[in-house]
């Protein structure tokens, strides 16, 4: 399976998937940590976190997948939502909460 196929399976396999550096408990980058905090603030506890540091193929492949050169990256129902800045903005607008509720329902 190619890295791109692997990523497609990951993002479509769960409603909420966060590609990050490190784990939710131990983020290895401030932006990944911030992304986890935003999800938690939205009341999401059962999201899937993929540690890109654990897999170099995923780490590079995810940048091509969404044409997005940075990590973290949030996917809801297989759709790329954005990185840490966009997550914060959507959260402040109340939009992210709605998107996450719809994904859970």
Partner 1 sequence: MLLAEEVRNYIMRGLPCDYVAVHGADGQHFEAVIVSPEFTGKNMVQQHQLVYKALGDRMKVEIHALSMRTFTPEAWAITGNEMTQER
Give contact residues for partner 1 (rule: CB under 8 A): 29, 31, 63, 67-70, 80-86, 89-90
CA gap 4, 65 in Å, rounded: 7
Task: Closer to partner 1 by CB, 46 or 68: give it.
Answer: 68
Structure tokens at 86: 């966009």
Output the smallest distance, CB 56 to partner 1, in A. Answer: 14
Task: Closer to partner 1 by CB, 52 or 81: give it.
Answer: 81
Output the smallest distance, CB 69 to partner 1, in A. Answer: 4
Output the smallest distance, CB 31 to partner 1, in A. Answer: 6
Output the smallest distance, CB 70 to partner 1, in A. Answer: 6
Residue environment code for 53-91, b if the CB has 16+ CB neighbours within 10 A, otherwise e: eeeeebbebbbebbebeebbbbbbeeebbbbbebbbebb
- Rounded to 10 deg, the angle between the 30-41 and 84-92 helix axes is 30
Task: Closer to partner 1 by CB, 45 or 58: give it.
Answer: 58
């Amino acid at each position: 399976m190619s890295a791109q196929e692997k990523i497609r399976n990951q993002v479509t396999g769960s409603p909420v998937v966060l590609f990050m550096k490190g784990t939710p408990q131990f983020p290895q980058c401030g932006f990944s940590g911030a992304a986890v905090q935003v999800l938690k603030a939205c009341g999401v506890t059962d999201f899937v976190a993929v540690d890109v540091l654990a897999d170099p193929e995923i780490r590079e492949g995810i940048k091509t997948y969404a044409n997005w050169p940075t990590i973290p990256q949030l996917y809801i129902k297989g759709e790329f939502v954005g990185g840490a800045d966009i997550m914060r903005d959507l959260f402040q607008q109340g939009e992210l909460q709605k998107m996450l509720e719809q994904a859970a329902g």
